Structure 1
């Protein structure tokens, strides 16, 4: 645990100096987080605060991406202003990931391609959302669209809204997807009911 002030560390050990002199790839996760935190407390450095945050989630950055401002503010040295900075930085990272779709995936040829497009939309959610991927006749990506957002146990799907959007986009093929925040991979009864209710309108693959 880094309990001393960052200024007490050797210059070459300070996160900002490492960033400036060696590059971002040489920084550990707690050092990147410490730069965002900025400064620490008399008895606990920014590095110490960062390490205490990450140690509670076993340094799992996916879990960190789901933190709310309240989650951050449970730690010593993190007030509302610093929590806002951390939330904003994580959101920028999530939005950047949403744009990192390889050029070849602009044509959906497999379920893996669809996963690459949709995963950034779902990865940090603590509630269910329903998304649609619109494709043209050549299976090229036209649009990725959120249809609805719900709670931790479900979300409402309005088939009419899906068709309305598909007509507007001149869509030939739709990929429908939603997440389970619990991590449960099996379809819920509500999922089965929606599929059965609309089985005459679309087919599942």
Structure 2
């Protein structure tokens, strides 16, 4: 098999790192940017070719790349532990960059703020359903966001006590329930409606305010409060 030229054997004006320094990151392809992260290739493929192959399996979608697991990435020839971890870390930085404010300094008084400034980065790229509770103080400032469970709402209905226990332990006076639909649909189902009713009734007994229940799907969300259902 003919040995491919390593990137450091290319002309300087063709190397991704040098191109970034001379003409800027925006001029590079996604494969070139990713090649800078993994640094080296194999005897049969350089770093750009390896990452182009990964992107091809994602149909060029960076969203799909961000959902790849460690096992998915290391299945590609030329991507070992260090390279897979580097790619995953870069994707996580991208998610965290979505945050627009310091959470602790923001008043979460609307579904728009909750979604855009707090919840969207937490749920972005998830391949399975997760449920979290947002704990707020009396001024609607963030105390914490707690994971309730993974894998669907059927388990959550029996775990309302956990949600309330967390609120009491953290001295939260207001809570927001949030979960995602990996399918991208934000239409609430019967389980969503049932859980919302049960949690609302339990919160009233404990003198805790259920501010909202948000269902997230990609760039969209459904708000029970906005729809007048709370």
TM-score clears 0.5: yes
Give the corresponding residue for 1:121: 122
> Would you say the 8 A contact 1:130–1:155 is kept in 2?
no
Structure 2 Cα separation of the partners of residues 138 and 54 of structure 1: 45
Which is worse superposed, 68-77 or 30-39?
A: 68-77
Aligned-residue offset at 1:82? 2.5
1:34-45 pair list within 5 angstroms: 34-45=35-46
1:159-186 Cα offsets, whole Å, 9 max, x none, are 1222222223332221110111222322
Within 2, Cα distance between the matches of 1:50 and 1:88?
A: 16
**CA shift at 1:25, angstroms?**
4.4
Whole-angstrom CA distance in 2 between matches of 1:197 and 1:140? 25
User: Pairwise mapping of residues 63-78 of structure 1 onto structure 2 (< 5 A)?
Assistant: 63-78=64-79
The structure with the greater share of residues assigned to strand is 2
Deviations 1:89-128 (A, max 9, x none): 333443x337x33259711132110102101111121222
Q: 1:184 maps to which residue? A: 185
Aligned position for 1:91: 92
RMSD of aligned C-alpha atoms?
Answer: 2.6
Q: Distance in 2 between matches of 1:163 and 1:21?
A: 55
Gaps of 5+ in 2: 204-209, 211-223, 226-230
Whole-Å separation in 2 of the counterparts to 1:52 and 1:141: 42
**Counterparts of 2:36 and 2:113 in 1: how far apart (Å)?**
35
TM-score normalized with structure 1 length: 0.81
Unaligned runs of 5+ in 1: none
Give the distance between the partners of 1:128 and 1:121, measured in 2 at CA: 12
Q: Choose 158-167 or 76-85, whichever is displaced more.
A: 76-85
Q: Deviations over 1:65-107 (max 9, x none)?
A: 110122223333223443233223333443x337x33259711
Q: CA deviation at 1:8?
A: 4.0
Distance 1:110 1:103 in 2: 16
Give the secondary-structure state (helix, strand or coil) at the position aligned to 2:131: strand
Describe how 1:15-164 pairs up with structure 2 within 5 A: 15-94=16-95, 96-97=96-97, 100-103=99-102, 106-116=106-116, 117-146=118-147, 148-151=148-151, 153-154=152-153, 156-157=155-156, 158-164=159-165
- Asked whether the 8 Å contact 1:129–1:155 carries over to 2, the reply is no
Asked if 2 retains the 8 angstrom alpha-carbon contact of 1:127 and 1:149, the reply is no
Alignment partners' CA distance in 1, 2:199 and 2:176: 14
Partners of 1:155 and 1:7 lie apart in 2 by 54
The 2-side partners of 1:155 and 1:33 are apart by 39
